[in-house]
Amino acid sequence: MPEKRIILDKIEDKHSPNIDFYRGNGGYEALKKALTQMSPSQILDEMKASNLRGRGGAGFPVGVKWSFINRTFPGPKYLICNADEGEPGTFKDREILQKKPHIMIEGMIIGAYVMGLDAGYIYIRGEFYEPIQAVDKAIREAYDAGILGKDIMGSGFSFDLYTYRGAGAYICGEESSLINSLEGKRGLPRLRPPFPAQVGLYGRPSTVNNVESFSAVPSIINNGGKWYAGLGTPKSGGTKLFSISGHVNRPGVYEIPMGTPWTELFNDMAGGVKDGKKLKAVIPGGSSTPVLRPEELDGMTMDYESVQSKGSMLGSGAVIVLDETTDMVKLLYRILHFYAHESCGQCTPCREGCDWYYDIISRIRHGKGRLEDLDLFERLAKNIGPNTICAFGDAFTTPALSFTRKFRDEFVEYIKNGNK
């Protein structure tokens, strides 16, 4: 099965970021249809029928999320695009931001129309210098074309859109931390409820979706929710962008229908393991998801349910391939170093637990570990993940547990003989 390019269609053309090229290839026709031929409730029905699930990692149905907003609630309401993309191994949203930003903008305007929202913010990680430039340019083009601002396309609907640069904090990929950062506060997660649909940005009803999620919306409006759902599985509609990296011959971003066999993504598209080496392991959804051994990949398809049935998560779609030369102790050391640095420090179990985990793996990595350290990982995890405000506690305990369970012999070897 080849790639099914919908979001990434024509993205390799050097003119793809420009509004004239985008409109010349059918861009903003979905917005015109939505504003002139469909009511907000009709669009919402199509979104629900599409089975589009949030592409940021959580996989919550987008149409259902949009229905939580009370569009008649008085006063301002806000739409937020999460373009922070901080999960190690993930680089799919960057492609859209830099090379095809108008498809995301079109999806955002349609979403704002459905929910009756007044303004939108695109929260982009500060390191994305060129993508930020591309998005800012695209917004200016959209204003000049009457696609943003007052009375869009003569419909009477108005919507303003702005970019906001983050400071590179991993935690700001979590929606409530992102909202706090937008408000000028520290990027700390909020206790929920209330959820953003009731109390979000500046205390007003707000909706947060990911770049890829918004970018899927125009094709749903143009072709119908049933068509989009039919591209994927019964529970996961449409196509999904996968960023595949590591020890593969053709790393990159691939767009495939949900439910595509793992072997087709890995062998046919990414070209298999680099330099003819053997496959040792795969991290299927970014560094915070459990690692899978080769035998666990048998029969796996690239959708939420199948990956979960194998004991991991689809996450952000960041596939990291590891060959037989990979030192799993050193890799876990690098992963836990990242998470120890990125903890926001708000919750005691996470604030202390991150450093504890890093201290433990540091001992093992430098030949000073103890066999009881592996059991300590297990005991600590029970007191961290379930007791934090957001999922960050799970994000660093999950890889530690999966690495030490599935490749225990390597950790024992380090403990017994050091790094030789």
For residue 102, what is the domain's CATH number?
3.40.50.11540
Same domain, 280 and 218: no
- Where residue 199 falls (left for φ over 0; alpha for ψ -120 to 50; beta otherwise) is beta
Structural domain including 178 reads 19-231
Q: Flag whether 4 is in a domain.
A: no
pLDDT at 166: 93
Mean pLDDT of successive 10-residue stretches along the chain, which has 420 residues: 85 96 97 96 96 87 94 93 93 96 98 96 94 97 97 95 94 95 95 93 96 97 96 93 97 96 96 96 95 96 95 94 97 96 92 94 94 93 90 92 96 84
Measured CA to CA, the distance from residue 336 to residue 362 in angstroms comes to: 9
273 & 307 share domain: yes
Q: Which pLDDT value is given to residue 323? A: 97
Q: What is the pLDDT of residue 1?
A: 55
Task: Report if residue 12 sits inside a domain.
Answer: no
Strand partners, 319: 244
Q: How many other CB atoms are there within 10 angstroms of residue 150's CB atom?
A: 10
Q: Is the preceding peptide bond at 399 cis, omega within 30 degrees of 0?
A: no
User: For 267, which DSSP code?
Assistant: I
CATH number of 310's domain: 3.10.20.600
Render pLDDT for 132-162 as a digit per residue (tens, 0 to 9): 999 999 999 999 999 999 999 999 999 999 9
* In a domain? residue 262: yes
Closest CA to 137 of 15, 32, 35, 31: 15
Q: What is the pLDDT of residue 17?
A: 97
Residues 6 or more apart whose CB falls under 8 angstroms from that of 181 comprise 123, 166, 167, 169, 172, 187
| pLDDT at site 59 | 82
- Partners of 252 in beta bridges: 244
CA dist 83 and 94 (Å) reads: 8
| Residue written as token pair 């009375």 | 151
Domain count, the chain: 3
Q: How many residues does the chain have?
A: 420
Which of residues 289, 323, 357 is at a domain's end? 323
Q: Is the CA virtual torsion 379, 382, 387, 389 positive or negative?
A: positive
Residue 2: per-residue pLDDT:
64
Report yes or no on 285 lying in a domain: yes
Point out the domain boundary residue: 231, 252, 267.
Answer: 231
* Residue labelled with tokens 């080496």: 277
